[in-house]
Amino acid sequence: MPELPEVETVVRALRDPLVGRTFSEFESYWPNQIVVPDDVEQLRARITGRTVTAISRRAKYIVMTLDGGEETLIVHLKMTGHLAVVPTSKPVHKHVRNLFRLTDGDDLRFRDMRKFGRIYLVTDPDEILAKLGPEPLEDPFTAEVFRQRIAGRTRIIKPLLLDQTIVAGIGNIYADESLFFAKIRPDRHADTLTKAETDLLWAGIRSSLQNGIDREGASIDTYVKPDGTKGDMQNAVSVFRRTGNPCYDCGTPIERIVLAQRSTHFCPICQK
């Protein structure tokens, strides 16, 4: 699933070709992706003639502000979603599930092989986004804020990091990388972490996510950038999907376990 760095990369790539453009039509080949409103014709009526004035990211959601400020188009890519502006003349890929026609001969196409992606057109973005935790790369997310958000929690730390109500945007890749940065085993219980370890984990979260953005995401499974090219973070991971390969710090083979039904990778020597 695209995580914060991958979604941020998509948002940055879409700003130039999408902001200022107007939707002229909407075609749906898989209406189940549309959550709000639960009606293709209503979405078509409400989106046609609206101009995208801004595009941003909140956690793993792509947020498009429409002219007038009364409605917001929100897209979640889920596992295999891909969003791109392409010429209308280009053949429609068989996995395109929903298509927004733009004026001047382009489309915003939502390709999604697994069909798990979601589309929301809402008057209040908080209908979808209100329960999300703080953005980990913004200044208000300090080490003290992070300590407060996990204080007293007895859950295992890896699944806790994946909880979007605790911290927004972290997924499987960057949770593993953050825990390696802090030298913390992913199956530790959160309430066993010392202040020093928690502060290191906070730093690891920010470092790993920023590295992912700088490298334009990790093309490990299906993720590619809007232009179809790969990100580079997969070439800079320390533990994720490196099972059996030597740890870069100590040479011990990286191990894999399953926590909360998610593959989890760590160094058994470096991470205590």
What is d(CA 227, CA 60) in angstroms, rounded to the nearest whole number?
Answer: 19
What is d(CA 191, CA 253) in angstroms, rounded to the nearest whole number?
Answer: 28
Specify which residues 179 forms β-bridges with.
none
What is d(CA 247, CA 240) in angstroms, rounded to the nearest whole number?
Answer: 11
Out of 57, 60, 109, 206, the active site residue is: 60
3 catalytic? Reply is: yes
Q: List the structure tokens of 78.
A: 């889920």
183 catalytic? Reply is: no
246 catalytic? Reply is: no
How many CA atoms lie less than 13 Å away from 70 in the CB half-sphere? 4
Residues 6+ apart with CB under 8 A from 42: none
Out of 2, 5, 159, 226, the active site residue is: 2
Out of 78, 115, 230, 262, the active site residue is: 262
| Residues tagged active-site | 2-3, 60, 262
